[in-house]
Chains A and B, each alone.
Chain A
């Protein structure tokens, strides 16, 4: 251990434990000073020896032949964390053979030792934020280093696609690549260097997207900034077209999640970008905007389902089949509101909803809410995955369907008596079962 480390440790521990009154575990100390856990434990113990009246240690004892009580069965390896240092001798006496006694953590004296959960949680959180969990660090900290998982991949080559291999090896730049995998990558680069570069770029942009996607969850006062954003947009539009490509990435990423924020969890979005795309159908989430559109449709779907089991629904069937009329003014208002919310450069990203709205204005007809196509399929584990596609149904079909509906509705009303009586009978029969 370098002398400088000891001084640094003294300073850190004194500040943290004595001044700030916060506990410290060997794990945090190890990562803070970038020393092995063995050294960190020794540093903790050294600090405790020189400050016995100010700090309390939490010991960890490991050994064999531990017996609980007078008739307790002796077990194999036993590890005990001792909250109260005064009980150390008592616990030691229960062991036949002690392998090691270590200082797990140091607490300021006034700290409540019963809150060990908090001590560990806070220290772990800090420790994880300090350094990455990878093989190199594990070796440095003195942990047991296992087989690098990339070596496993090289064994698995037969069953996997090359793209998946490349993707996985790129996920862990810190891990040593096996020789075979390296050769493989080199060969591929020689063959086609440009595509790999492109792929890298693609991955970079992909990895960059989750960050803005998370923003809406923090973002609250979007409405207040709308005016500013509109001004910015206008300025951007007035500028030369050469500046647009650079703007494309940022505002697009910013504006899309406006609709995702309340419906889609950020985790799902992140997963969709990273996991093996060749095999995991269910992990693929196409684009964020798709989901946002579907979110509204899903709501409509749910409300549709709500009505399914109402027995009295049949009585209102004719009125429901008629299309809902909305004036063109309200449609225009809606469009304006949408434009205000979205802040999207209309030239850059075509808005399918606008197209639909325009069509609606032209035809001055009303349609029922869009029904997303729901597809179900099995993923590799056999889980049933349901996806809702945003593609709206073709207009002519819808029109025909509406016409048919209105025709049937009108014929029903024209025919009058017999149909209605049948429905009443059916309704009463269902009501009979429903009550049961």
Chain B
């Protein structure tokens, strides 16, 4: 029966003859309870959405101010600006004219296309919000400010054009007040990195784990019953449960689905016809129950063999505001026996995980996508570049690019999101733009988005392409000690057909491409 042509697993790899009797999946050490497991779980009964957001900002500022004061002192304490040693001014409004100083506060970006509820009210705009713009920024008209409890001052300086700043960043700025209410920035300082826990390998059970384990990350399954690409989903499922008889499949110890498992269906066209009851008609959901059923069925075959963690995303039927609550358990009717086990983990978005001792932080990518809108839009730069290419040489073009967020922009032109993932680690806040441009719960006495622990692995789902980088975050100014963070940008599966495998021994990542030709 066998032939030279047909090569299957048991023939090609001589060391593995298990396929006829079944292969055993590798095992990871995953504690049932770990630190920050419920960090993004909102209180069950005392959710108050009627609070103001200012307390969130002030709490964030207070958390990071202590770290910044120490760091700014170390960095700028012995510097000279215009022959003078800069002094720390505790209140922004207390800065003296033309006297070098450094201040600490929260950035506010007043970008041209950024949604502004006050403008909408002033312009008498009511109803549904307009579709979100591709980018909020117009470099010619953008304005940045810094604020603290005392007030707000406008920022100026070429330095700002080279730096990515978004609303909600807590930073230290070195400079001087050149005019009343205008602060010229010379340098910027970010908070000290939060401590990174050592790998949690002390537990006895850790010895039970196998070597060469891999975590599979997938995002953006985008199940849409109206336009379902069942082939890709089937191939993915078959790969994960080992139907392709590949050695890589059995090394996967957990599948992490990072959001957007379902797609939002088209707005109900028949809505007008169903307005007999004005509420029943108007409140029809755009979420398709069929999509959820397909997802449930998809997981049903996987869960027999492979543990799954699932985060909600912006196109999933979950809360719209960050942090998103786990997908409701009634969605998983076919898998209800796994609901209370570690086999099916319904996670919040963002969420912390702990696998094989690694502390993993991840989101479904909305935070990164939103921050990307603060980057100078490509079209603006391309226009400027084209204009200058006609009259000037390449140097002039490079200068333009450099003047506009420099390296970051160059990377983002190539659809890279890694610089933004890096930035969030440097800022020590993973969702700084909430609540300004990303809806979030009005926390009263905490800001869980501010890092109080630096993760080992940080991933974001639903990004344009797969990227990964081992980032080194300096612990102090000497640069001798760094925290290593594995950054992963997970592509949308429905577009790319790609999933990411991360080795839990080395944190090396590889992409698996599944498609049909």
Where the two chains meet, the residues of A that have a C-beta atom closer than 8 Å to any C-beta of B are 1, 26-27, 36-39, 41-43, 45-46, 49, 60, 62, 66, 75-83, 87, 91, 98-103, 116-117, 120-121, 124, 133-135, 138-147, 149, 152-153, 155-156, 159-160, 164, 168, 171-172, 267-268, 270-271, 274-276, 280, 282-283, 302-303, 305-306, 377-383
B22 lies within 8 A of A144 (CB) = yes
Given contact pairs A144-B250, A145-B305, A147-B307, enumerate 7 new A-B contacts (beta carbons under 8 Å).
A37-B243, A38-B10, A76-B512, A102-B6, A138-B22, A159-B33, A381-B325
Q: Which of B24, B27, B513 has the most CB of A within 10 A?
A: B513
The answer to whether B336 and A275 touch across the interface, beta carbons within 8 angstroms, is yes
Please tell me if the beta carbons of B44 and A156 are within 8 angstroms of each other in the complex. no
Question: Is B152 in the interface zone, CB < 8 Å from A?
Answer: no
A80 touches B304 (CB 8 A): no
Known interface pairs A82-B517, A146-B25, A156-B32; A100-B246 also in contact (CB < 8 Å): yes
Give the CA-CA distance A100 to B243 in the complex, in Å.
Answer: 12
B220 CB to closest chain A CB (Å) equals 18
- Most chain A C-beta atoms within 10 Å of own C-beta, residue among B22, B42, B516: B22
Inter-chain contact B27/A147, CB cutoff 8 Å:
yes
A-B contact pairs, 19 of them (CB 8 A): A36-B20, A38-B19, A38-B245, A43-B1, A45-B1, A62-B244, A76-B510, A79-B513, A99-B9, A117-B229, A120-B231, A133-B300, A142-B20, A143-B241, A144-B23, A149-B303, A168-B340, A378-B45, A381-B346
Measured CB to CB, the nearest residue on chain A to B337 is A171
Establish whether residues B6 and A36, one from each chain, have CB atoms under 8 Å apart when the complex forms. Answer: no
Residue of A nearest to B22 (CB): A139
The interface size of chain B toward A, counting residues with CB under 8 Å, comes to: 79
Q: CB-CB contacts of B68-92 with A at 8 A, as 1s and 0s?
A: 0000000000000000000000000
Residues of A within 8 Å of B405, CB to CB, are none
Across the interface, A145 reaches (CB within 8 A) one of B25, B47, B230, namely: B25
Taken together as a complex, chains A and B put the C-alpha atoms of A138 and B277 apart, in Å, by: 50
Please measure, in the bound complex, the distance between the C-alpha atom of A146 and the C-alpha atom of B7, giving whole angstroms. Answer: 25
- Residue numbers in B under 8 Å from A141 (CB-CB): 22
A421 CB to closest chain B CB (Å) equals 31
A271 B517 Cβ-Cβ under 8 A: no
Top 10 A-B residue pairs of the complex, sorted by shortest distance between their CB atoms: A144-B242, A139-B22, A76-B510, A149-B343, A146-B25, A81-B516, A152-B341, A78-B513, A171-B337, A378-B44
Chain B residues lying within 8 Å of A139, measured Cβ to Cβ, are 21-22
Closest A residue, CB atoms, query B2:
A42
Binary contact track B36-71/A, C-beta < 8 Å → 1, others 0: 000001111101000000000000000000000000
Counting CB contacts under 8 A, is B153 at the interface?
no
Would you call B211 an interface residue if the criterion is a C-beta within 8 Å of the partner chain's C-beta atoms?
Answer: no
A138 to B238, alpha carbons, bound, how many Å?
12
From known contacts A38-B19, A100-B12, infer whether A77 and B248 are also in contact, taking CB-CB under 8 Å.
yes
Whether the pair B512, A79 counts as a contact (CB closer than 8 A) is yes
Q: Which residues of the other chain, A, contact B230 by a CB distance below 8 angstroms?
A: 117, 120-121
* CB-based contact A149/B244 at 8 Å: no
Indicate with 1 or 0, residue by residue over B298-312, a CB within 8 angstroms of chain A CB atoms.
Answer: 001101111100000
Give the complex CA separation of A303 and B25 in angstroms: 57
Question: Are B12 and A99 in contact (CB-based, < 8 A)?
Answer: yes
A81 touches B515 (CB 8 A): yes
CA distance A270 to B5 in the complex (A): 49
Residue of chain A at shortest CB distance from B28: A147
Q: Which of B7, B24, B45 contacts A100 (CB 8 A)?
A: B7
Q: Is the CB of B19 within 8 A of A36?
A: yes
Interface contact B517-A80, CB-CB below 8 Å: yes
The residue on B at minimum CB distance from A272 is B330
A418 CB → nearest B CB, Å? 34
Q: How far is the CB of A262 from chain B (nearest CB, A)?
A: 14
Beyond A38-B9, A100-B246, A135-B304, is A142–B45 a contact (Cβ under 8 Å)? Answer: no
B284 at the binding interface (Cβ < 8 Å): no
Q: With the chains together, A380 CA to B339 CA distance in Å? A: 13
Instruction: Report if B280 contacts A (CB, 8 A).
Output: yes
In the complex, A42→B1 CA distance in Å? 7
Cβ of B243: which chain A residues have Cβ within 8 Å of it? 26-27, 37, 143
Q: How far is the CA of A79 from the CA of B304 in the complex (A)?
A: 23
User: Could you tell me the distance between the alpha carbons of A60 and B243 in the complex, rounded to whole angstroms?
Assistant: 11
Q: Is B329 an interface residue (CB 8 A)?
A: yes
Residues of B within 8 A of A117 (CB): 228-231
Structural contact, A98 and B511, CB atoms closer than 8 A: no
Chain A residues with Cβ below 8 Å from B6 are: 41-42, 45, 101-103
B481 within 8 A of A: no
Check A382–B8 contact: CB distance below 8 A: no
Name the contact of B330 in the complex, choosing from A62, A80, A103, A283 (C-beta under 8 A): A283
Query: Is B326 at the interface (CB under 8 A from chain A)?
Result: yes
The reply to whether A156 and B340 form a contact with Cβ atoms under 8 Å apart is yes
B391, CB-defined interface residue at 8 Å? no
**A39 pairs with B22, CB closer than 8 A:** no
Given A124-B234, A134-B304, answer yes or no on A267-B333 (Cβ-Cβ < 8 Å): yes
- Find out whether the CB atom of B246 lies under 8 angstroms from the CB atom of A62: yes
User: B170-190: contact bitstring with A at CB < 8 Å (1 yes, 0 no)?
Assistant: 000000000000000000000
Contacts of A142 in B (CB 8 A): 19-23, 242, 245
Q: Assuming A38-B19, A120-B234, A153-B341, is B277 touching A145 (CB within 8 A)?
A: no
